Structure 1
Amino acid sequence: MYIEKKTIEQYRDKNRLTSPRHITPYMSQNEYFNTFCEEEAASVITIENQWTIEQHQSFIVTKPSQGEGSNAPQDVLSRCYTLQSHFHVNDYNRVNDYHLIINEIKLPTFIFIDEQMVTYIEPEDTYHRINVTPFVQEGHNHLKMICFPVAHWYKQAQIHDFYESMHIVARGYDRIEDFDIFCQFYPTLGVMQPTLHIKDIEGAPQITYQLLDQFGDILQKGDIDIDTPNCLDMNTISIEETHIHHLTLMLETQDEVIMHDIQLHFLQPLAHQAMTKVISC
């Protein structure tokens, strides 16, 4: 197996999306409250658990450095593993975008779909989100990865760790890509003030919000401005009531619903402080 070094540079992080927020959309509020985990959402396409793993000798072909007598390419002998599996897209929609999510990667890796090279990625301290929309088709899709073990990597069993949480997410075209939410608690009033800032979008989403308690009951709702920070009205909600354990912020666009949990952890203010922050998870 020959791999040219220029191919690595050509495909390094190609088709990778850089938004820091990992979003799993839902079809509705009802779907969110009736699924056990994100992987059960209709937008999530799972990779089959049956993988074939083969070990190969590979040669990474590099150009000789200046000053070397020969102009012939140099072959660097290496090991590599080829992992292959499949996934099925049963309700393909050409309007959707399809993103491959890899939560943890420990090895430098080439990724192919139906023998078309998608990208080359290397280990980082964050997840990888890769746009595979041009490569995905209705029905059966073949996924192949070529992984290059590093010096301290020696157990083939470790290769299972890095694809356990791999999956594909279907996203609507008009969507939220990233947002921030900051909360302040006013102890004298017993109310909390969340501020939502939409940081990045795709297309032209029309966004509304609802604040729900842990039972899914609506406490507040309204429209979201994508251009300015939005102070969500909670003046009528007393979060000191014992039955409210946490809140869920529901952001709805034309195509999908995003749910964000707000955990109520209070920091005890000092005597001279008028407010304290609430940690938003």
Structure 2
Amino acid sequence: MSTIDLLNSLMTSAVRGWRGTSSFSAKATAPEQLLKLYDMEGCPYCRLVREVLCELDLDAMIYPCPKGGMRFRPEALDQAGINQFPILVDPNTGVVMLESADIVNYLYETYGNTRKRVPARGPVRQFQVATSMAATATRSVLGARGIYAKASSAPEQPLELYSFESSPYSRPVRELMCELELPYHLRNFGKSRWQEMGPPGVRRRFFPDAPITSPNRQRMFELTGRFQVPYLIDPNTGMDLYESTEILRYLNETYGGE
């Protein structure tokens, strides 16, 4: 990932006030079955839902539906009767839901253990949508990232990605996975304690004994002994990779093209 790309991704996160960074504001009850999200990475409405998934520390199976894509858009149409994104499917309750504000409130009410709600209309909602659109516009300076489908080969099994929504390093990886229509288990990696804010080196140097409170952080530490995103696991090839530049190269070489 180039320096320009990184700076642009940092600006994109800043425009949204770094929403989708922490998970210590609301603790969720994890669903038994994995939530499903039909998603377009560059869509401002999808971003609002992904931010709350991160805040609530909820995993989801992501089915990318970029414009021009045909791998999951027909399936999304069967689920909701319309190609409008995001679409949330909750196999635990049988709910199939459109509209980002409705989805956000559903997640809070069903899994969030919180009374927090997002108004479906009014100034707060308008501000959220406007800043998310501004974030998309900021990212679009370098091209329509995470919006249009590219030719790709489909993996037999979904990939697995450790990420948090505002991570400037994870965003380019999610964008490419969307463009290549690669389904993946999103393992949200929101910072669950104030000691985890900042780069991984800060925790290692100043708070090495701070307890781990996030299930995905505990899982990564058991697997790798590290806390760093993005982290990609590909069960189809047995590969696991850190570093966004290496992951981007791997995805293009393994799944890019026909």
Q: Give the TM-score, by structure 2 length.
A: 0.25
Bigger relative CO (Cα 8 Å, ≥ 6 apart): 2
Find the structure with the greater CA-based Rg. Answer: 1
